[in-house]
Amino acid sequence: MLVYTERAKSCVELLREFMVHPPEARGEQLIFAGVGKRDVYNICAPFIDNGEPVIAGRVEDRDKESSEVVFFVERNGEWVPRNGAPVLALQDPFVTFIEGELVFGGVEVYFDGDDPHYVSSWRTVFYRGHSIAQLEPFAKGPLTMKDIRLIGLESGRIGVFTRPMMVDGARALIGYTEVGALSELTEEIISSARLFKNQFLLDEWGGANEAHLLRSGKIGVLGHIARMEDDNIRHYYPMVFAYDPATHRTTPIKLIATRAMFPDGPAKRPDLIDVLFSGGLIRHPNGTASLYTGVSDAQAHVIVLPDPFLEYES
């Protein structure tokens, strides 16, 4: 029997609960090549395109915010850009498949005309096609909204997770709505999503990074929860929860990993050291799952964990 959320817990409280029985797991850095000295981070989990595993990753100079999304394939233990694949001026890629069609997205960033280093706004944009080579844009989210994610449902409808900012006194909230087809996905529909108001403290925030349809009919959500302390030091943690579309109820958020579970490495800036940005989760038949994550806004890692969605399957 699932327990549903009654109150928001702080990142500190969730971390304290997680550290009572942390998994005995250690992350492994993924090696990327073919992009010069630029960093690759905030990757998606590998997906199959034309019979070959592919990873989309955010590629960026350490001292800049402008980035590209590159599609990588593995060659001799390294991930290298795929020949002929598009390169897109986006951040933080994500993928899903709906009725056999690849749905790809990322964050389009806009810079101030007088200061090319200052980000003035951003939005999530969506592409669709039967392969990477056939991707075409088809929808976009509202300005300043990241972390919009889609999932195909058994009914044939499409679930849409949203994340508006600065709403109801909160820094950000997760919302949910549905559409009947990809062609119905509009800014207005996304903006009208029903919000989950019991997940985050007002001064903390989070978002959905990937959605998984479970045997129980519920949706397992892989996401992140974050807080900021003095001097704008950021703390981002991978988390999960389950959502019941029939009742609009969510289970309590649970952390699934911390920065200490991954090897030491560089960070884009000192305020981003303790940042893990969930990219995707591949579930395995043996009860484990591989979490792919950006680390410190400078690297990409994978870690094998107990499958966090098993408890939501019944």
Q: Is the pLDDT of residue 6 over 90?
A: no
pLDDT > 70: percent of the chain: 99
Count the neighbouring beta carbons within 10 Å of the beta carbon of residue 269: 14
Mean pLDDT computed over 185-208: 96
Which among 162, 244, 249, 176 has a CA at the least distance from the CA of 207? 162
pLDDT of amino acid 112? 78
pTM for the full predicted model: 0.96
In a domain, 6, yes or no: no
In a domain, 237, yes or no: yes
Least confident piece of the model among 43-47, 116-120, 175-179, 199-203 = 116-120
In a domain, 2, yes or no: no
Tell me which residue range forms the domain holding 283. 11-312
In a domain, 3, yes or no: no
What would the pLDDT profile of 64-88 be if each residue is shown by its tens digit? 989 999 999 999 999 999 999 999 9
pLDDT of amino acid 1? 63
Mean pLDDT computed over 307-313: 96
pLDDT of amino acid 76? 96
What would the pLDDT profile of 11-26 be if each residue is shown by its tens digit? 999 999 999 999 999 9
> What total of structural domains would you count in the chain?
1
Q: Is the pLDDT of residue 113 over 80?
A: no
- Please answer whether residues 97 and 85 qualify as being in contact, where contact means their C-beta atoms are separated by less than 8 angstroms: no
N-term to C-term CA, the chain:
8
Which among 188, 218, 190, 221 has a CA at the least distance from the CA of 206? 221
The CATH number of residue 294's host domain is 2.115.10.20
Q: Is the pLDDT of residue 105 over 80?
A: yes
Q: Is the pLDDT of residue 159 over 70?
A: yes
Measured CA to CA, the distance from residue 178 to residue 158 in angstroms comes to: 5
Count the neighbouring beta carbons within 10 Å of the beta carbon of residue 29: 13
pLDDT of amino acid 168? 87
Consecutive H or E run containing 11: helix 11-18
In a domain, 21, yes or no: yes
Q: Is the pLDDT of residue 189 over 90?
A: yes
Report the SS3 class of residue 4. coil
- Please answer whether residues 174 and 163 qualify as being in contact, where contact means their C-beta atoms are separated by less than 8 angstroms: yes
In a domain, 24, yes or no: yes
Mean pLDDT computed over 185-193: 98
- Please answer whether residues 232 and 271 qualify as being in contact, where contact means their C-beta atoms are separated by less than 8 angstroms: yes
Mean pLDDT computed over 26-51: 98
Which 8-state DSSP code applies to residue 62?
A: T
In a domain, 165, yes or no: yes
Q: Is the pLDDT of residue 116 over 80?
A: no
pLDDT of amino acid 285? 97
Measured CA to CA, the distance from residue 62 to residue 232 in angstroms comes to: 19
Averaged pLDDT score across all residues of the chain? 96
The first and second tokens of residue 298, run together, are 């400078």
Q: Is the pLDDT of residue 183 over 80?
A: yes
Top-confidence residue, 290 or 4: 290
Mean pLDDT computed over 100-117: 88
The β-bridge partners of 212 are 220
The first and second tokens of residue 250, run together, are 């969510």
In a domain, 4, yes or no: no
Q: Is the pLDDT of residue 261 over 90?
A: yes
